[in-house]
Structure 1
Amino acid sequence: MADNVISGYAARFGDETVIAGEFRERLAPGAFTRTLRERPDVTALLDHDSGRVLGRTTAGTLTLRQDRIGLWFSLDVDPTTPEGQTALGTVGRQDVKGCSFSFRAQAETWQDGGEKLPLRTLTDVDLFEVTLTYNPAYPTTSASLTHTNASAAARRVRMRAEMEQKLRGIA
């Protein structure tokens, strides 16, 4: 049994992707440092749709952390909402297993690509939202249901109680 938590990487440092067939893009380590410190509210959405909110940092339902890999998130999903049911169902089946993010570049560098497309490296971004999506711009992002030991422990306690009830003839 899975908890109602989806987690993964909304962005990964150093991984390149092609944007609109025009240029390559990657995120430099630390690109989210300033925005995570200064931005009070970031939302989690389904497919960049502002009408399908799944969580937000100010509500405590979205946690964001930058580490050596990239921008990690943990999203406490409400299964009583249509959006929550969709997110839990599609991520649980891995129909949706990637992420994207909405941002404004504050600092970037460009390199001539020579035979390749030019390369933009984002070094500082304003982060507005992270989103669960089936078709992320960065294919190395991830989203999956989180299984915790708390769920396993709760099942063991319940099974033990049921066994004791059977032994006592209470069932």
Structure 2
Amino acid sequence: MSRDIRQSRDLVMEIEKREDDGTGDLFLEGYFAIFNSNYELWPGATESIAPGAFTECISGDVRALYNHDTNLVLGRTGAGTLELREDSHGLWGKIKINRNDTDAMNAHTRIMRGDVTQCSFGFDIEAEEFRDNGDGTCHWTITKVNPLYEISPCVFPAYKETTVSARKEDFENIKKRQHEAWQQQMKSKIKEVSNGFKSIDEEKRTDRKAKATRGA
């Protein structure tokens, strides 16, 4: 996939409310990405994220947004109001909600009431693997994400059309390269067979000449 296209994927949130009795702070915490979970791009084409894909990027300055709105920042790793870590299940995050921010409190209320049930994360793909299953289906595995720009509880999935369009272009390019490689392989085989026939003809001509010389 083109590295010029910023990626976004979505899933149903595994988010929990937590209130620290000692400080009264509000938190949203849970998984914003799940490892080894197939994301359907279109029928027959899926994608998943491999464990460890976020290892090198979660130490960066990542934002927690609401609805991918850069004007509504819920937390930020650089400010200590967003915590991120990886485990065997996926990318886990904890957002400290600012009680003095009306927009943040409204977002928190909508999430806890169940009106907002999805989340997305924005990122770039640094490394991935492609598998053609040979039955008309295929699968991409993202093995390295860098950078991770943001995580975001959201009302609707973001950029899915852009994602699918980019993946389809990627798939067409892969198929084109496979076809070109097949054509080159066929040409090499034809050339090899042709050279074999030429060698046989040359041997026959040499043999005829030798016989003719002996007969003379």
TM-score > 0.5, shorter chain as reference: yes
Q: Determine helix, strand or coil for the equivalent of 1:8.
A: strand
Q: Partner of 2:94 in structure 1?
A: 74
| Native 8 Å contact 2:124 2:145 kept in 1 | yes
Q: Determine helix, strand or coil for the equivalent of 1:15.
A: coil
Q: Partner of 1:159 in structure 2?
A: none
Deviation at 1:115, TM superposition (A): 3.9
The answer as to 2:38 corresponding to 1:16 is: yes
The answer as to 2:154 corresponding to 1:128 is: no
Q: Determine helix, strand or coil for the equivalent of 1:91.
A: helix
| Aligned match for 2:112, one of 92, 101, 123 | 92
Q: Which has the higher contact order (CA 8 A, sep 6+)?
A: 1
In structure 2, what residue type is equivalent to 1:9? Y
Partners of 2:39 and 2:136 lie apart in 1 by: 12
Task: Sort the Cα spacing of 1:33 and 1:2 in 2 relative to 1 into closer, same or farther, 3 A.
Answer: closer
The answer as to 2:78 corresponding to 1:58 is: yes
Q: Determine helix, strand or coil for the equivalent of 2:53.
A: coil
Partners of 2:133 and 2:64 lie apart in 1 by: 34
| Native 8 Å contact 1:79 1:88 kept in 2 | no
Q: Which structure 2 residue ranges, 5 or more long, are not aligned?
A: 1-16, 20-25, 159-216
| Native 8 Å contact 2:84 2:93 kept in 1 | yes
Task: Sort the Cα spacing of 1:31 and 1:2 in 2 relative to 1 into closer, same or farther, 3 A.
Answer: closer
Deviation at 1:20, TM superposition (A): 6.1
Structure with the higher fraction of residues in helix conformation: 2
Larger deviation: 51-60 or 93-102? 93-102
Q: Partner of 2:48 in structure 1?
A: 26
| Native 8 Å contact 2:44 2:136 kept in 1 | no
Task: Sort the Cα spacing of 1:23 and 1:50 in 2 relative to 1 into closer, same or farther, 3 A.
Answer: farther
Task: Sort the Cα spacing of 1:6 and 1:124 in 2 relative to 1 into closer, same or farther, 3 A.
Answer: same
| Native 8 Å contact 2:98 2:104 kept in 1 | yes
Q: Which structure 1 residue ranges, 5 or more long, are not aligned?
A: 138-171
The answer as to 2:103 corresponding to 1:83 is: yes
Partners of 2:76 and 2:50 lie apart in 1 by: 24
Deviation at 1:2, TM superposition (A): 5.6
* 1:98-157 deviations in Å (ceiling 9; x for gaps): 3210000000001114445421100000111001123457xxxxxxxxxxxxxxxxxxxx
- How many residues align? The count is 135
Task: Sort the Cα spacing of 1:22 and 1:85 in 2 relative to 1 into closer, same or farther, 3 A.
Answer: farther
Task: Sort the Cα spacing of 1:20 and 1:102 in 2 relative to 1 into closer, same or farther, 3 A.
Answer: farther
Partners of 1:71 and 1:34 lie apart in 2 by: 12
Q: Partner of 2:195 in structure 1?
A: none
RMSD of equivalent CA atoms: 2.1
